[in-house]
């Protein structure tokens, strides 16, 4: 319904333009370019200062009529089970005052075009016209993850005013600010990290993992198979000397059955190990929806690792556990995780170096290589299956 409404209105504007014998080609090209630029923000999360919305756009979401110097603009916003189609028509561009950037959380950058006299916007909720509001600005969106995206959109909007001979509506400082190197906040880094893994919806859909691979330790390769059930349990089976050695973590228990250590029956882990294990059962990770989980995050700055720039975050879990996370500044993938762990009764700083990101058949992105220091072990995944059936009995003691 949203695309039908928008398409009909914009098509009507296009037909009106064709009826005029005027040189519209350049302006029409600029309108199309702005429409396409809005589409680059499709599926991004936008926050209006109060609520989060997922953006989407019809293909032709911005159209300018040369003859009347008016425009039509369409944007769709989704929040929960409600989808809002916002249509603004008869926008008198001659009455626009200025264009400026506003700072909101999320990957969607926002430029506002202000109108002191206001413009009328019709809002359709789930396909039904629910209200008409007077707004004193229009919002144009760009993808903040793309270098130079803000300046490109400013230039396109400036070209609109220039083509209509309406003078300059964009203060020079807006272009100067756009030229400055982007300074990211902790939330900016987290938003881009989530996007690098396929987005919030993809991450949230993870309920289980079955993985196979090898562990290289002290020069010996050990076949390993692992089962993860989100927020419930983890089991790792290692084949050593022809026998299965088992380690299990759940929310309430942790135990091992290691014949290689002469264990003939399951042995409970100590309370500290059990607590640490219970914190690692969230398949969505510490950063996803971190505020709801009671975590806090601080951006410590940038550092260079192996010739590549990276952001370093300090995350404090609700439990008080401190985790340092290093995220590549180009790919925004996690490359290192540092935290204190209980190792045989001693507190040891453990560093995970994470690499070799791959995409499995279902489109889930995962790291296939984990190197652990100071232990010197290396875990490599050869197969990583998401949302396969996992029998909860796997986590029970035999």
Same domain, 243 and 385: yes
pLDDT of residue 328: 94
Q: Per the domain annotation, does 382 fall within a domain? A: yes
How many angstroms separate the Cα of 289 from the Cα of each of 17, 31, 190, 297, 323?
A: 47, 37, 10, 11, 16
Verify that 133 and 217 share a domain, yes or no: no
Q: What is the pLDDT of residue 10?
A: 43
Q: Are 221 and 380 in contact (CB under 8 A)?
A: no
Residue 268 in this model has a pLDDT that exceeds 60:
yes
Mean pLDDT of the chain: 88
Q: What is the residue whose two structure tokens read 């791959």? A: 358
Range of the domain at 251: 200-395
Neighbours of 304 (CB within 10 A): 9
Per-residue pLDDT tens digits for 166-216: 988 998 888 777 766 566 889 989 999 999 999 999 999 999 999 999 999
pLDDT band for 104, please (50, 70, 90 cuts).
Answer: confident
CA 161 remoteness from chain centre = 34
Given this model, what pLDDT does residue 181 score?
52
Instruction: Decide if 187 is inside a domain.
Output: no
* Half-sphere CA count of 299, side-chain side, radius 13 A: 14
Instruction: Confirm whether 190 is domain-assigned.
Output: no
Contact assessment for residue 340 and residue 314, using Cβ atoms and an 8 Å cutoff: no
| Res. 67 pLDDT band, cuts 50 70 90 | confident
Residues 230 and 264 both lie in one domain: yes
Instruction: Look at residue 23 and tell me whether its pLDDT is greater than 60.
Output: no
- Let me know: does 220 contact 245? Beta carbons within 8 Å: no
Beta bridge partners of 342: 347
Beta strands 267-268 and 296-305, pairing class: unpaired
Same domain flag for 177 and 323: no
Can you state the percent helix, strand and coil of the chain, rounding each to 5? 25, 45, 30
Does residue 254 contact residue 268 with C-beta atoms inside 8 Å?
yes
Same-domain status, 292 and 219: yes
Q: Give me the helices (H) in 131-171, please.
A: 149-163
Determine the Cα–Cα distance for residues 324 and 314; give it in Å rounded to an integer: 5
Last residue of a domain, one of 182, 215, 237: 182
- The pLDDT assigned to 180 comes to 60
In this structure, are 52 and 160 located in the same domain? yes
Kindly tell me the burial class for residue 138, based on how many C-beta atoms sit within 10 Å of its own C-beta (0-12, 13-18, 19 or more). buried
Examine the domain organization and report whether 220 and 326 are in the same domain.
Answer: yes
Structural domain includes residue 355: yes
- 243 or 132, higher pLDDT: 132
Same domain for 209 and 155? no
241 and 316 belong to one structural domain: yes
Long-range contacts of 264-268 (CB under 8 A, 24+ apart): 266/397, 266/398
Structure tokens at 174: 């807006």
Q: How many domains does the chain have?
A: 2
Q: Which residue has the tokens 């290692």?
A: 238
What is the pLDDT averaged over residues 13-33?
59
Gap between the Cα atoms of 46 and 62, Å rounded: 19
pLDDT, mean of residues 96-114: 86
Task: Let me know if residue 189 belongs to a domain.
Answer: no
Q: Model confidence over 233-252: pLDDT tens digits?
A: 999 999 988 888 999 999 99
Cβ-based neighbour number of residue 301 at 10 Å? 9
Same domain, 90 and 207: no
Q: Final residue of a domain: which of 123, 152, 182?
A: 182
Residue 59 lies in a domain: yes
pLDDT of residue 18: 37
Residue 192 in any domain: the answer is no
Q: Is residue 191 part of a domain?
A: no
Do 77 and 174 fall into the same domain?
A: yes
Predicted local confidence at residue 386, as pLDDT: 97
State pLDDT tens for residues 285-337.
999 999 999 999 999 988 888 888 899 999 999 999 999 999 999 899 999 99
Assign residue 286 the CATH number of its domain.
2.50.20.10
CB of 329 closer than 8 Å to CB of 312: no
- Tell me if residue 336 falls in helix, strand or coil: strand
Q: pTM for the whole thing?
A: 0.60
Residues 220 and 327 in one domain: yes
């Amino acid at each position: 319904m949203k695309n039908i409404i928008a398409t009909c209105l914009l098509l009507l504007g296009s037909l009106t333009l064709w009826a005029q014998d005027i040189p519209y080609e350049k302006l029409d090209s600029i309108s199309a370019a702005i429409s396409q630029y809005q589409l680059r923000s499709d599926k991004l999360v936008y926050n209006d200062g109060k609520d989060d919305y997922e953006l989407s756009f019809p293909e032709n979401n911005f159209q300018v009529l040369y003859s009347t110097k008016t425009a039509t603009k369409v944007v769709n916003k989704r929040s929960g089970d409600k989808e809002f189609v916002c249509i603004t028509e008869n926008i008198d561009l001659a009455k626009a005052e200025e264009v400026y950037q506003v700072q909101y959380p999320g990957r969607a950058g926002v430029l506002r075009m202000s109108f002191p006299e206001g413009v009328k916007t019709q809002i359709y909720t789930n396909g039904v016209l629910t209200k008409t509001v007077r707004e004193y600005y229009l919002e144009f969106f760009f993808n903040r993850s793309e270098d130079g995206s803000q300046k490109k959109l400013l230039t396109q909007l400036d070209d609109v005013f220039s083509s209509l001979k309406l003078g300059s509506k964009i203060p020079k400082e807006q272009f100067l600010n756009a030229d400055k190197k982007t300074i990211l906040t902790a939330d900016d880094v987290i938003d881009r990290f989530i996007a690098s893994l396929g987005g919030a919806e993809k991450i949230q859909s993870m309920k289980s993992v079955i993985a196979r691979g090898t562990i290289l330790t002290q020069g010996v390769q050990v076949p390993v198979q692992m089962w993860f059930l989100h927020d419930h349990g983890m089991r790792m089976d290692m084949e050593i000397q022809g026998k299965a050695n088992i380690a299990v973590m759940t929310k309430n228990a942790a135990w091992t059955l290691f014949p290689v250590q002469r264990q003939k029956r399951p042995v409970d882990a100590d309370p500290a190990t059990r607590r640490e294990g219970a914190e690692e059962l969230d398949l969505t990770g510490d950063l996803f929806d971190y505020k709801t989980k009671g975590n806090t995050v601080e951006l410590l700055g940038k550092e260079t690792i192996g010739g590549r720039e990276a952001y370093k975050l300090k995350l404090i879990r609700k439990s008080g556990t401190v985790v340092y996370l290093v995220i590549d500044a180009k790919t925004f993938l996690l490359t290192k995780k540092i935290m204190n762990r209980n190792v045989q009764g001693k507190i040891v700083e453990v560093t995970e170096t994470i690499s070799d990101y791959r995409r499995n058949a279902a489109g889930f992105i995962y790291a296939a290589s984990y190197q652990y220091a100071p232990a010197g072990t290396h875990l490599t995944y050869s197969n990583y299956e998401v949302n396969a059936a996992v029998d909860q009995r796997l986590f029970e003691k035999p």
